[in-house]
Amino acid sequence: MAKVLIIEDEENLANNIADKLRAEGYTVALAGDGEAGLEKIRDDQRPDLIVLDIMLPKLDGLSICRMVRHDPSTAHIPIIMLTARGTEVDKIIGLESGADDYLVKPFGLGEFLARVRALLRRGMGRPMMQEDEMASEDLRLNLTGRRVFKGEEEVKLSNKEFDLLTELMRNRNAVLSRDLILTKVWGYDYFVDKRTVDVHIRWLREKIEDDPSNPKRIVTVRGVGYRFEG
Ligand code: CA
């Protein structure tokens, strides 16, 4: 069963949520301040989902959210943010936070549970996330080592090219829009021209396609974006 980490300094609320989740069969871990929370995110038993309060002692929730998103080993973990004020919602859904969902206190436990289930389902739909290697024909991508091989030969990619290829391969045979690629690869902190995606696709094709002018792996879907065939 999925493991949920609750980082919340209001003990009553944290315990209520924890009880509800446990009653549904989830494994629950609790942290009462930001630093303890970050430690639990990074330990060996990584959570499958994080419930994160914004106002926390020691380290605030928005900072934690950003740190989780910028660490490749935790970037995929879904995050639900809890906020005491509607005025904070802008910050959460704004460009910089990287949260997947949010709830404004006070919220019903039923609604909370529905959000948790939805996010975990979405996570389960990305089975490649947990695997160390992805392959398509003679192209192999090693996630931990961040290395790519074409046949026996290693292909040297820049960081962004690697992230881009990873995202494309994780969603193979699905069309990814430029917007989605920008969000996933360039992150929430950046405002980048959409043509940046096209430029990086071109560079990537030169490295992994047999004939870059007639690409077979990374296909252009006109007016939408790109698709990795495999
Ligand atoms: Ca709080």
pLDDT at 69: 82
Three-state DSSP class for residue 103: strand
Q: Is the pTM of this model over 0.85?
A: no
Of the chain, the percentage scoring pLDDT greater than 70 comes to 91
Residues 6+ apart with CB under 8 A from 21: 4, 6, 28, 113, 116
Going 150 to 152 to 155 to 159, the CA torsion angle's sign is: positive
Confidence of residue 145 (pLDDT cuts 50, 70, 90): confident
Three-state DSSP class for residue 58: coil
Inform me whether the pLDDT recorded for 126 exceeds 50.
no
Confidence of residue 56 (pLDDT cuts 50, 70, 90): very high
pLDDT digits (tens, 9 = 90+) for 71-99: 878 888 999 999 887 777 766 665 456 78
Ligand 1 centroid distance, CA of 191 (Å)? 30
Inform me whether the pLDDT recorded for 128 exceeds 60.
no
Report d(CA 113, CA 119) in Å as an integer: 10
Ligand 1 centroid distance, CA of 115 (Å)? 20
Inform me whether the pLDDT recorded for 124 exceeds 70.
no
pLDDT at 122: 75
Do 146 and 190 contact (CB within 8 A), yes or no? no
pLDDT at 90: 67
Ligand 1 centroid distance, CA of 54 (Å)? 6
Instruction: Name the CA radius of gyration of the chain, rounded.
Output: 20
pLDDT at 153: 92
Partners of 173 in beta bridges:
none
Q: Phi and psi of 90, rounded to 5°?
A: -55, -40
Ligand 1 centroid distance, CA of 184 (Å)? 29
The mean pLDDT of the chain is 87
Ligand 1 centroid distance, CA of 11 (Å)? 9
Ligand 1 centroid distance, CA of 80 (Å)? 14
Ligand 1 centroid distance, CA of 32 (Å)? 9
pLDDT at 87: 72
pLDDT at 129: 43
Q: Which helix (H) or strand (E) holds 29?
A: strand 27-31
pLDDT at 125: 45
Neighbours of ion ligand 1 (CB under 5 A): 9, 53, 55
pLDDT digits (tens, 9 = 90+) for 164-207: 999 999 888 888 888 888 888 887 555 677 788 999 999 999 99
Going 155 to 161 to 167 to 173, the CA torsion angle's sign is: negative
For 116, which DSSP code? H
Residue matched to tokens 């436990």: 109
Cis, bond preceding 106 (omega within 30 deg of 0): yes
